[in-house]
Structure 1
Amino acid sequence: MEAKEIVASYFDALAKGELEKALSSFTPETKWCQPGDNKFAGLKNNLNEIIQMFQGIMTHTSGNMQVRPNGTMLESGNLVAVPVWFTATTGTKSMDLGGLDLFEVKAGKIIQVWTFSDDQSVDDEFFGK
């Protein structure tokens, strides 16, 4: 499978709510760089830390956080850039904005993820400390 197909499979599983299947695209050592100044920001050094972050986000949003591709996936060697749109609500706050996710794929698995927000201050306000 090409890098783009691996990433597309990850997003397909997310869209169907199949978190376990989505996470099967990662290795136990996958790293995730979450930007910002909020309680979910920072480098996640392995799959367990990524799962903890996902679970925290789902708890914070009562399970309604959605991230979906919002344009053409671009591939350069083992890197795949995906324009994304993400939405979520919690209490009286809502988030509805774009960004970019960058994936590094090696030997059929996602080994590193970097996420970018169109407006990091919105993310930080939404997720808090």
Structure 2
Amino acid sequence: MEAKEVVAAYFDALAIGDLEKAFSNFTPETKWYQPGDNKFSGLKNNLGEIFQMLESIMNDTSGNMVVKPAGPMLQSGDLISVPVWFTAKKETKVMDLGGMDLFQVKDGKIVHVWTFSDDQSLDDDFFGN
């Protein structure tokens, strides 16, 4: 599978809430860097830590966090960048922001993810510490 197809398969599975299928595109050693200064920020060193972070985000937002591609995927070697739009609500707070996800794909699997927010301070305020 081509690198873009791997990333597209991840987003397709995420869109229908099939986390098991989404993460079948990762290796057990995949690393994920979550930016900012909030309770979810920092480097996740393996699939277990990534899954735990995303499960915690879904619990924090009562399952309404949505991340979807917002433009074309671009490729440079084994790197795929995807503009994304993410929305979530909790209590009286609403997050409705753009960003960029960068994936490194090797041998048909996502091995590294970096996420970026258009406004990290809003992101940090929404999630808190």
Please tell me the TM-score bracket, short chain as reference: over 0.9
Structure 1 segments of 4 or more deviating over 3 A? none
In the superposition, the TM-score normalised over structure 1's length comes to 0.99
Matching residue of 2:21:
21
Q: CA deviation at 1:78?
A: 0.5
Tell me the distance in 1 between the aligned counterparts of 2:24 and 2:77: 21
Q: Which runs of 5+ in 2 are unaligned?
A: none
Matching residue of 2:109:
109
Alignment of 1:41-56 (within 5 A): 41-56=41-56
Q: CA deviation at 1:74?
A: 0.2
Q: CA deviation at 1:36?
A: 0.2
Tell me the distance in 2 between the aligned counterparts of 1:114 and 1:83: 12
Amino acid at match of 1:58: M
Deviations 1:7-45 (A, max 9, x none): 000000000110110011100000000000000000000
Matching residue of 1:63:
63
Count of equivalent residues: 129
> Alignment RMSD, CA only?
0.4
Deviations 1:28-81 (A, max 9, x none): 000000000000000000000001101100000000000000000001111000
Matching residue of 1:79:
79
In the superposition, the TM-score normalised over structure 2's length comes to 0.99
**2:43 aligned counterpart, secondary structure:** strand
Q: Which runs of 5+ in 1 are unaligned?
A: none
